[in-house]
Amino acid sequence: MARDVLSLPLRSEGDAAHTGAHVLTLSPNDVATWNHLLPEVVSGRARPSGGAERDLPDEQVGAFRFFAGTALAARSDPRAFTWLDAGAAVDGSELRASAYLSGLLHRRGHLAAPECAFTDPRAFVHFATLPAMRACRAEFVSFAVDSLPPASGSLRVLDVGCGDGGLLADLLPALLEGGRWDEVATVTLLDPSPAMISTAKTRLAAAWPDARVEGRVARLEHVASLLQGPYDLVVGSLSLHHMPAEVKRRALAALAPSIDHLLLLELDADHDSPEVGSPLLAASVHQTYGWMLAQILGPSTPDEVARESADEFVAPELVSLLTEPRGIRSEYHMRRERWLALLAEAMGPEIRPLGTRTALSTPHADLFALHVGRPG
């Protein structure tokens, strides 16, 4: 078995190999405490560093201040700055959610309704090419080669939410070199962003001149039942979390008959079930988006590039998570166990879990790879 591919299904939450085990999570008691403190925050009776925070463990203070600040911002209450700035002071440079949001509020005046996050590929490409995300993608590619069985013949591949095509540009040569297929026959690129499709199509057509490369501007959930393939391989890297669980389930069920193998790369977080304004959602967003922003705004990035990437890629997602209810918002990351359960339910007994690997592990955010397919 490949290096650190876990046996499936995953064991308990406390398993040392489990991604995200070290990431801050709130117990039901913590949630009750935060909910109990919120009216104090909204009424102005509670202040950062005041008595209300005495009940919180130290490691929760930054996340609680983010929760308080975003609750006030959602009510257009200027005391949001006090809480977010106090949160930024304890978060330091590792987590930048409170600091970034405070700056965004200063610049925009309120939590503005998000524009589409992927209109211009450059904003995401900056994030995808940061050292941590390069390492994550390299691990995903190596996992794919290890986990897929050797295969001969021509590959028909579908990339769901292909973005700028960077993932397939890395993955396809590695698969062929690793003895997974002999050549690439068809590459189907699917993405709702016309600019992403255009960039990806140009890139893949240049790299694979003998293959049929086709692009479709669409959301998976709108076309899943029309995509008949067949596909030897479907990849979805950081894209399937853009739909709620029930929509993922329907789209994957519609795709299942046409595919042999599915590889996913996703963030290990629960942004699907908690409702907007809840402590669970705020605490998780504070960590994961705070971590992402810390990477994007890091000292080695030119200011202009960092600001553009944060404002055009992260801000729309962040604001959506903080202001829009389930069904409307754009982000629905799920924990790895939930993905496994959903895939089993959606794709039927012939498609089985075949491997998983932690693709990136950080103190605040983890990403994992998953492989399901028809066993040999």
Q: Residues in the site for ligand SAM, rule: CB under 6 A?
A: 118, 124, 128, 160-163, 166-167, 190-193, 196, 219-221, 237-239, 242-243
> Least Å distance between CB 215 and ligand SAM?
12
Name the residue whose CB lies closest to ligand SAM. 163
Hey, what's the torsion of the CAs at 291, 276, 359, 293, to 10 degrees? Answer: -20
* Residue (173 or 277) nearer to ligand SAM, CB: 173
Q: Residue 195 in contact with residue 121, Cβ under 8 Å?
A: yes
**SS3 sequence, 110-146?**
CCCCCCCCCCCHHHHHHHHCCHHHHHHHHHHHHHHHH
Return d(Cα 327, Cα 330) in angstroms, integer: 8
* Residue (84 or 220) nearer to ligand SAM, CB: 220
* Residue (21 or 207) nearer to ligand SAM, CB: 207
> Least Å distance between CB 331 and ligand SAM?
10
Burial 221-234 (b: 16+ CB within 10 A, else e): bebbeebebebbbb
> Least Å distance between CB 259 and ligand SAM?
15
* Residue (155 or 240) nearer to ligand SAM, CB: 240
> Least Å distance between CB 289 and ligand SAM?
13
Q: Give the largest Cα separation in the chain, rounded.
A: 69
* Residue (199 or 356) nearer to ligand SAM, CB: 199
> Least Å distance between CB 223 and ligand SAM?
9
Return d(Cα 272, Cα 327) in angstroms, integer: 10
Strand pairing class (259-267; 366-373): antiparallel
Extract the tokens encoding 141: 């590619």
> Least Å distance between CB 126 and ligand SAM?
12
> Least Å distance between CB 174 and ligand SAM?
15
Cis peptide before 9 (omega within 30 of 0): yes
Rg for the chain, CA atoms, rounded? 21
> Least Å distance between CB 194 and ligand SAM?
10
71 sits in which H/E element: helix 61-74
Question: DSSP secondary structure string, 166-232?
Answer: HHHHHHHHHHHHTTB-SEEEEEEEEES-HHHHHHHHHHHHHH-TTSEEEEEES-HHHHGGG----EE
Q: What angle, 0 to 180 degrees and rounded to 10, lies between the N-to-C axes of helices 61-74 and 80-91?
A: 160
* Residue (18 or 201) nearer to ligand SAM, CB: 201
Return d(Cα 276, Cα 329) in angstroms, integer: 9
Return d(Cα 301, Cα 309) in angstroms, integer: 10
> Least Å distance between CB 89 and ligand SAM?
30
* Residue (19 or 239) nearer to ligand SAM, CB: 239
* Residue (38 or 256) nearer to ligand SAM, CB: 256
* Residue (65 or 261) nearer to ligand SAM, CB: 261
> Least Å distance between CB 175 and ligand SAM?
16
Residue written as tokens 């308080």? 68
